[in-house]
Amino acid sequence: MRSVPFHRLGGLPLKRASTRPALRSASLALLAVGLIAIPMGCGGDKDGPSRDRVELGSDGRLMADPAPLTLKDVDSQPRNSPQQALYRMLFWAQWGNPTKTLASFDEDVLKVLDVSVLSTLGWLRPGLLKLQPRIVEVAPEGKTAFVGVEFLSKLSPRRRESFLFRKGRDGEWKILYDTLLDRGLAQYSLYSETGSATPKEEAGEATKKAESLARAYRTVVVEEEGAKALRSGRSRARG
């Protein structure tokens, strides 16, 4: 698997950083830049699932709206992989099954944001139905995995989102953090308070509340990284 230089993630003008492809660095980078553009790499569905694909125009937009995902699309991904877990979440989110959709997220996320996750994904559903996913990067490390996905749409050029998975006690891959929900939480909170998903100067308190909700989601990852560091330190001390 090709490593992804830290300072090149998203093509953003970040300061020079380590090129070590460790997932911990990748997850913290994901938090730092918010929205990430993942370079093409190995893993995932380079040619997409087996279903018919909508033709892509020269401007990077689909020529027509794609069909919703099917169980065949989910099964097209490697069995019991984070890629399949991602497709399964998108499938249930598109088809409007809240129980199955919530089951795709890590228990630590649901402890903090269960109702907010459900409300936000319900609000995002019309947009999700118009997206065609394509996994472009998979970087596993032990019980965690970083997945980059490219979304194609008729309405806008392709865009990239990033997902951080953790394998739960039941052996299933669960979403610990992702940029799609991060942005969606803030936008839905703002929309529910002001009727607009776009921050405005006069909506100061609503904007703060929206930012606080998204920050609570990121905190789950930060706390997980801190716990890992603490466990590692204790292990070295015992050694």
- Domain range summary for the chain, segments of one domain joined by +: 35-46+60-232
**What is the pLDDT, as a whole number, of residue 1?**
38
For residue 62, what are the β-bridge partners?
56
Using DSSP's 3-state secondary structure scheme, residue 83 falls into helix
For 37, residues 6+ apart whose C-beta sits below 8 A from its C-beta are 9, 10, 11, 12, 160
Per-residue pLDDT tens digits for 98-156: 899 999 999 999 988 878 888 898 999 999 999 999 999 999 988 999 999 999 988 88
Fold type of domain 35-46+60-232: Nuclear Transport Factor 2; Chain: A, (3.10.450)
Do residues 135 and 73 make contact, with C-beta atoms less than 8 angstroms apart? no
Per-residue pLDDT tens digits for 2-33: 333 323 333 322 233 333 344 444 444 444 43
Using DSSP's 3-state secondary structure scheme, residue 16 falls into coil
Amino acid sitting at position 6: F
Rounded-to-integer distance, Cα 149 and Cα 223, Å: 25
pLDDT bin (cut points 50, 70, 90) of residue 221 is confident
**What is the pLDDT, as a whole number, of residue 201?**
62
Computed over every residue of the chain, the mean pLDDT equals: 74
pLDDT bin (cut points 50, 70, 90) of residue 68 is very high
Alpha carbon distance, N-terminus to C-terminus of the chain: 32
